[in-house]
Amino acid sequence: MAHVHHKHEGESLAGAAKAAMEKSGEQWTQMRASVFDALAAFDKPASAYDIAEKVSIAQGRRVAANSVYRILDLFVGANLARRVESANAYIANDHPGCLHDCIFLICDACGQATHIDDDSLSGGVREAAKQAGFAPDRPVIEVRGRCGDCVD
């Protein structure tokens, strides 16, 4: 069953991300804010290198991708970002206060990744893993194909 929740954008998204980070016991530093703002500005999944380049340009100094990777890992752990595993790329989570397993619909034509929440599907994956004697931490489901804009 799909879950309905408030999706944030712009200043609201940045405020929600800051609140979620602080709630997890972490500080919201200027660098973390810069990385999050850069990530949120992309309309497709972005690599750490894409984000590092955007932050470097904005700050007028070189920012290493390794630093960005560490921040992105922190963001994923705090539910501020989602990792698109097959692309080694990230998207900002537009509802960081709501924790769900991710299902990504990834367009092979334009690269767009749509994130949907369907706990019945991911719950089935979790249950199948448990039945096999496996303790699932985080199911990641990615469906590759073509989005509605690229089907035509």
Question: To which H or E segment does residue 107 belong?
Answer: strand 102-107
Residue range of the domain that includes 77 = 10-92
CATH number at residue 134: 3.30.1490.190
Cα 64 to Cα 70: distance, rounded to the nearest angstrom: 10
Q: Are residues 86 and 38 in the same domain?
A: yes
Q: Are residues 74 and 44 in the same domain?
A: yes
pTM of structure? 0.80
Q: Look at residue 9 and tell me whether its pLDDT is greater than 70.
A: no
**pLDDT tens digits along 99-131:** 667 788 999 999 888 888 777 787 888 899 999
Domains held by the chain: number: 2
Q: Can you name the residues that pair with 89 across neighbouring β-strands?
A: 84
Contact criterion met (CB below 8 Å) for 139 and 125: yes
The strand order across the sheet containing 113-116 reads 113-116, 102-107, 140-145
Share of the chain above pLDDT 90, in %: 49
